[in-house]
Structure 1
Amino acid sequence: MTATRLDERQLRDHVGELADLLVDTVADGASVGFLAPLDRTAAIAWWEERAAAVAAGQLAVWTAREGGRTVGTVSLVFPDKPNSRHRAELVKLMVHRRARGRGLGRRLLMVAEQAAIDAGITLLHLDTETDSLAERLYGSAGWTRAGVIPDYAASPSGLLRPTTFYYKHVGATALTR
């Protein structure tokens, strides 16, 4: 698997496949910000809205492809405030159901972490549904659990669920800790 960072044009070219991945992820119960059932048209619109942030350098999106189809993605959101340019938020790590169980999520996570280091980022953070498969991945990949907020976000079924926040020092900062 090779992860490719998408520019604005590439994101627009792959918006249908990214939408299909998002719809599949939500249908499988992953809490990535959407309620089920997620309409493909709404998923396409959501991804299209990301193109301007990619063009502005505020969002980086990577995709993993297999058999000519997008089967995974991960993104980094870069803050625009001067006091927070050392950090980024890891968002929308998704792997299609047919591609799970082969380490793709971990590889995408590593791609995003290395890209953050290459960009001079020293601190990453994320949030995920408490007790989810994703939470186990982050814990096993060296992320530090910062805390849990009850009833933070609704699951795809609409049930309020707790969310766990994680952070990870990367790059030179990680070596000095």
Structure 2
Amino acid sequence: MPATAAPTTITIRRPMAPSPADLAGLADVLVDCVEGGASVSFMLPLSRERALAFWQRVADGVARDERALLVAEDEAGIVGTVQLVFDLPENQPHRADLAKMLVHRRGRRRGLGEALMRAAEQLGRDSDKSLLVLDTVTGGDAERLYARLGWQKCGVIPNYALWPQGGFCDTTYFYKAL
């Protein structure tokens, strides 16, 4: 297989009303991540229709100001995403949940995950949040990234979810004071 040059320009934006093209690109990222073995709420096989339906629900939440969506793009299109969920109980107005930090396999090992996390943290600050919380598969690349970026590990819950192909995986909870 011939080597190709990796695209180098990455931009991160916050769509306030994700377009059909945004939803299609996000669906591609989600399907790629699940097909690559990521435990991110979906089982194999993940159809494009189910992925699009998920992103439409996210877009609806964005429209209701229940969540914020960040999208990372390179020359080939959407390559990553992350969300901040603001729709929490009324006694937790100071925090947000960080969710669905996804990077397409074609965009990995290029600093994209770190760029998305730093953008999400800044968005949390800009949204007057003082605490972010997330969970991730124990022992994965994302867990190492979060620890490197100063997120504090709270603990591990065994058998929390399933891998997309089946079988239990543990999850690790993290928080970050902003």
Question: Fold-level match, TM-score > 0.5?
Answer: yes
TM-superposed deviation, 1:169: 0.2
Aligned equivalent of 2:51: 43
Q: Aligned pairs, how many?
A: 169
1:54 pairs with 2:92: no
* Counterparts of 1:120 and 1:88, CA distance in 2: 10
Task: Return the letter of the residue paired with 1:48.
Answer: Q
Shift of 1:68: 4.3
Contact 1:73 1:92 in 2 (8 A): yes
User: What is the distance in 1 between the residues matched to 2:168 and 2:107?
Assistant: 28
Contact 1:126 1:167 in 2 (8 A): yes
Pick from 106, 120, 125 the counterpart of residue 128 of structure 2.
120
* Alignment correspondent of 1:21: 29
Match for 1:3 among 2, 12, 15?
12
Distance between the aligned counterparts of 1:11 and 1:145, measured in 2?
36
Q: Name the structure with the higher helix share.
A: 1
Find 2:152's aligned residue among 131, 144, 149.
144
Gaps of 5+ in 1: 171-177
Identity of counterpart residues, as a percentage? 46
The alignment's C-alpha RMSD in Å is 1.1
Partner-residue secondary structure (3-state), 2:14: strand
1:87 equivalent in structure 2: 95
CA distance in 2, matches of 1:43, 1:23: 7
**Structure 1 stretch displaced more, 63-72 or 103-112:** 63-72
Q: 2:175 aligns with which of 163, 167, 171?
A: 167
CA contact (8 A) 1:79 1:87 kept: no
- Where does the alignment leave 5 or more consecutive residues of structure 2 unmatched? 1-9
1:96 aligned to 2:104?
A: yes
User: TM-score of the superposition, structure 1-length normalised?
Assistant: 0.92
User: What's the offset of the Cα at 1:31?
Assistant: 1.1
